[in-house]
Amino acid sequence: MDAIDEARRVPVLMYHRIGAVGNAWEQKYCVAPERFREHVRAIARRGFRPCSLGAFTAWLGGDAPLPEKSILLTFDDGFLGVYEHAFPVLRDLGWPFTVFLVSGLLGQTDAWTVESNPAGRTYPLLGEREITEMQRAGVSFQSHTRTHPDLTGLDDAALEAELVGSKRDLEALLGAPVDCLAYPFGRLDDRVANAARAAGYCAAFSVQPGFNRPGTDPFRIRRLDVFGSDSPAALARKMTFGTNNGSMLTAVRYYVSRMPA
Ligand SMILES: [Zn+2]
């Protein structure tokens, strides 16, 4: 690979639910299926290409180059809508993606959102049948703990049970190593990051926005939050500028900051 074509910074996109958007609160964490297809077309048209989780972590560790404009696609929580609406689209393109599962709630619902969603609604999560089918098609499944707690609020024993337990549950189900974690609510501190390492994970994903670079702390991988309200152009700006703010103003500020004084 030509040195000039190597990625120096890679954005990780974080989606949650794909499906019908019920209210303004849900629009933050849910992308409608048609909007998701628009996002995929925008990613393709602008020359971005999703890489596999393994290629990403190797690149982060400085072990292997990635092509310029590589991105990583992730879906938190393991909603059934990912199987129904995102999987067919991404499978047809041969694009790799990663789903972070709440191992104690497979086939159940996202009960942890019931208090924050003004409508009090919950949504179905992937069950073993869908997970197995997607795994056979190459989808990567990793841990989002057992019950989706704020890990920073747990005592050491409960923290270990969430981290080790989820890894064990999923490895038994998948028959494959599970060595990446997404912190629920993106909540972490040094104790949580150290516990993740001690539990046997090799990398963990935060919700801190920004780009990743070789040498980025593998237990504080940055991600860009993709909202249901993001137009394709806004998504493209997020990937280009490494920010959660996809407004035009972000682009203007970026270029102004680079202008000679
Ligand atoms: Zn989550």
Distance between CA atoms of 157 and 187, rounded to whole angstroms?
Answer: 18
Give the Cα separation of 196 and 190 in Å (integer).
10
What's the pLDDT at 53? 98
Distance (Å) from CA 107 to ligand 1 centroid: 15
Tell me the pTM.
0.94
Report CA(2)–ligand 1 centroid distance (Å): 38
| Residues surrounding ion ligand 1 at CB below 5 Å | 76-77
Distance in Å, CA 252 to ligand 1 centroid: 32
- In the numeric block, which tokens belong to residue 68? 């310029």
Contact by Cβ (8 Å): 223, 205: yes
Domain ranges of the chain: 3-230
pLDDT at 143: 98
pLDDT of residue 261: 62
Please report the pLDDT score of residue 207 as a whole number. 96
Per-residue tokens: 39: 């996002």
The predicted pLDDT at position 187 comes to 97
Q: 148 CA to middle of ligand 1, Å?
A: 6
Residue 185 C-alpha to ligand 1 middle, in angstroms? Answer: 6
CATH number of 3-230: 3.20.20.370
Per-residue pLDDT in tens (0 to 9) along the chain, 261 residues: 444 488 999 999 999 999 999 888 888 899 999 999 999 999 999 999 999 999 999 999 998 999 999 999 999 999 999 999 999 999 999 999 999 999 999 999 999 988 888 888 999 999 999 999 999 999 999 999 999 999 999 999 999 999 999 999 999 999 999 999 999 999 999 999 999 999 999 999 999 999 999 999 999 999 999 999 999 999 999 999 999 988 877 777 777 777 776
Q: Report the separation in Å between the CA atom of 9 and the middle of ligand 1, taken as the mean of its atom positions.
A: 25
CA of 240 to the centre of ligand 1 (A): 25
